[in-house]
Amino acid sequence: MIKKTKIVSFNINGVNSAIRDGLLEFMAKEDADIYCFQEVKSNPENATNSDIIRGMGYEEFWNPAKKKGYSGVMFYTRIKPLAVIYGMGIEEFDDEGRVITAEYEKFILVNAYFPNSQHELRRLPYKLRFNEEYLKFVKKLEKDTGKPVVLTGDFNVAHKEIDLRNPKSNEKNAGFTIEERESFTQILKHGLKDSFRELHPGMQGAYTWWSYKFKARERNIGWRIDYFVVSDKLMKHIKESEIILNIPGSDHAPIRLILEL
């Protein structure tokens, strides 16, 4: 029997502030089967209104950072996972709460908040190490389970010039360096596809992040840095991979994937 699964991914830039800005209303309206949140900046003990979300039929799984108010990823899911994996088994990344994985009947879902290379690229080496270990982790999941993967989250990189408004002026800036873009290309070369770009190969002005400065969002001066990357064999089952615009509460836009398996 073919089932439709709706997955929404969203860098919410703080779960408690996002809830104050209407996250619960967005979740109720979108009615996704699974929500993947990044940069939650909290933990289960300090999150507000979790009881309301559980009342909507969701089970929650958290992987917060050790540092308070920083990073962290989580799932809200109506489909009970067969297993949940917290982190990648590498302390320098797991301490920052960057990866959480759920195994479902027909696929593996990996929710990640990739490091930002930061000002003067001071964390670029850390970011590139993370990318390498992440790819190893994902390929091992595929091999061990025999299941295709859905990789989502804030990858903190615009892959191609079409994926940001001002590519030339950002060539040496975090998120658009040659090293980061090539690292993302290497991930895709291992039997994976950027589902949005596969479905919308020539679409320009499609962004998921905007600076808070200079009315960037109002002027659509943005970057596409949030993705659903899927195993090749899943592409024929992807019915939708879209950006959800005009959702308040974050400097990111949520993204939606509809999978029929």
Residues with catalytic annotation?
113, 154
* Amino acid, single-letter form, for residue 21: D
Q: Are 256 and 6 in contact (CB under 8 A)?
A: yes
Q: Where are the beta strands (DSSP E) in the chain?
A: 4-11, 34-38, 59-63, 73-77, 83-86, 99-103, 108-113, 149-154, 192-194, 209-210, 222-223, 226-231, 238-243, 255-260
Closest CA to 81 of 42, 133, 36: 36
Give φ, ψ of 36 to 5 degrees. Answer: -115, 115
